[in-house]
Amino acid sequence: MKILKASLILVTVFITQCGPQAFVKGKYDDVNRENLLNDSWSETDMQNAVKDLVASVTAHNAIANAKTPPVVIVTQLQNKTSEHIDTQNIMDMVRVELMKSGRVEFIDKEARQDIKDEYDYQNSGIVAEESKKGPGGQAGADFIINGRLDSIVQEVGKDKTVYYKITLNLTNLKTSKIAWSDYKQIRKQFRKKTIGL
């Protein structure tokens, strides 16, 4: 009888451990705490890369010694990794952190079509003449920020190394010369854990 009860308990434990599980209880976490839950690009990687690259570009002569804040447009970050990474999110963080520095001004590339549509609406005769805005008054960008994200993954036995390099460029629109370029390297090491019953 004891053997039967012990067997039932073991079967019950096995079934509950092998069935589908859901995340049902959560708590808020510190977004600045290191996150290495898996071997993929993480918010910690993004935060560290953006912080260092923004510090580098704001210290460069083109921005640090400018008489007036240069006007910048942020374009794309090419994803050359094998992962699906939201590179727009990275560039949004770059823009926000640069804006917080107060050393640059930005043109919103994403809003251009919306602005054009609003010009068309305001010139339709519906809007009062004294409050109308129109084409010809927009500021032109002085610089473009773009870049790329690369990775190298190495796996030997139970060991895995994931290397990322994010490179940003600040290009002068008038001359098309790169005024500043820098990169941030991140390397993470992982070890496979044997999972048993």
- pLDDT confidence of 82, banded at 50, 70, 90? very high
Q: What residues contact residue 115 under an 8 Å CB cut-off, 6+ apart?
A: 138
pLDDT at residue 5, rounded to an integer: 66
> What tokens were used for 93?
């963080």
Going by C-alpha positions, the residue among 197, 149, 140 that lies closest to residue 173 is 140
Distance of CA 188 to the CA centre of its chain: 18
Q: If 0-12 CB within 10 Å is exposed, 13-18 middle and 19+ buried, where does residue 18 land?
A: exposed
Distance of alpha carbon 8 from the chain centroid = 50
Mean pLDDT of the 146-165 span: 93
Q: What is the pLDDT of residue 137?
A: 80
Question: Which residues, in sequence order, are bridge partners of residue 163?
Answer: 152, 187
- Whether residue 74 contacts residue 94, with contact meaning beta carbons closer than 8 Å, is answered with yes
CA 127 vs. chain centroid, Å, equals 39
Reported pTM: 0.76
What mean pLDDT is predicted for residues 147-161?
92
Burial grade of 58 (CB within 10 A; 0-12, 13-18, 19 or more): middle
182 vs 122: CA distance, rounded Å: 43
C-beta atoms surrounding 74 within 10 Å: 23
pLDDT exceeds 90 at position 96 = yes
* Most confident segment among 4-8, 10-14, 84-88, 134-138: 84-88
pLDDT over 70 percentage in the chain:
79
**Is the Cβ–Cβ distance between 149 and 77 less than 8 Å?**
yes
**Strand partners for 139:** none
Q: What is the fold of 43-191?
A: Rossmann fold (3.40.50)
